[in-house]
Amino acid sequence: MANDAPVALRLHQVSVTRGQQTILKEVSLRIPEGQAVAIIGPSGAGKSTLLEQLRLHHAEQVSWCPQAPGLVPMLNLYNNVYMGRLHQRTTLANIANLICPKRQDVEEIAVLATSLGLLNGDPKRLYQSAERFSGGEQQRISLARALYQQRSIFIGDEPVSAIDELHAITVLQQIKAAHRTMVVALHDVELALGCCERIIALNNGRIVLDQLSSEISRNQLLALYPHEQY
């Protein structure tokens, strides 16, 4: 796929085996800077493993949003989001943040939480423990944590799966606006076609399709899910 932009992410002949099972089979791909890419495919196709490999090979550049929110239940929304920048601060500064957060950090995270619909006009929700939020809200907190990292590349494993379609579109647009490059695993082919310019499909650990979204139809993508209902 021709593109003269610098390469943001690259894998070459990557295979991953766990026990007796091969998860990825000699996968090679290059993702130019500036692209929004959807990774699709049936359950067990290798999507999560592919994203993990992209992240591991480019860790310093990537804001990572895993499928499981990975929040600390007893910590509040603010501190869970703040964890996105733990690596940028000293241990002493991070401990101090637990006791007395800096106003600048609080304001920045409040703006981010508001943009993702987490505060609902109530600033006190910033200090509500993560376990008191719904599943969809916890996924948004995980997203906020990834956005707070402020890196050039966003990689997300089903980052909007617990969010309704209307808000999912808005969230994906927000992610695209905040990063030069976006790679997300999506189950919803409509979202993939509408929000990403390139579609990469996996099946049995191999890339079986790699096309611009403008060159492929919904029915072609649905054919990749023969045993799943839409």
Q: DSSP characters for the chain?
A: ----SPEEEEEEEEEEEETTEEEEEEEEEEEETT-EEEEE-STTSSHHHHHHHHHHHTGGGEEEE-SS----TTSBHHHHHHGGGGGGS-HHHHHHHHHS--HHHHHHHHHHHHHTT-STT-GGGGGSBGGGS-HHHHHHHHHHHHHHT--SEEEEESTTTTS-HHHHHHHHHHHHHH-SEEEEE-S-HHHHHHH-SEEEEEETTEEEEEEEGGG--HHHHHTT-TTS--
Q: How far apart are CA 73 and CA 133, in angstroms?
A: 9
Residues contacting 70, CB < 8 A, separation 6+: 142
Q: Where are the domains of the chain?
A: 1-61+153-163+181-229, 72-150
Q: How far apart are CA 148 and CA 131, in angstroms?
A: 20
Claim: this prediction has a pTM higher than 0.85: yes
Write out the chain's pLDDT in tens, 230 residues: 556 789 999 999 999 998 888 999 999 999 999 999 999 999 889 999 999 999 998 888 999 999 888 999 999 999 999 999 988 888 998 888 888 899 999 999 999 999 999 999 999 999 999 999 998 899 999 999 999 999 999 999 999 988 888 889 999 999 999 999 999 999 999 999 999 999 999 999 999 999 999 999 999 898 888 766 55
Task: Write down the pLDDT at residue 3.
Answer: 64
Task: Write down the pLDDT at residue 225.
Answer: 81
Domain 1-61+153-163+181-229 falls under CATH 3.40.50.300: yes
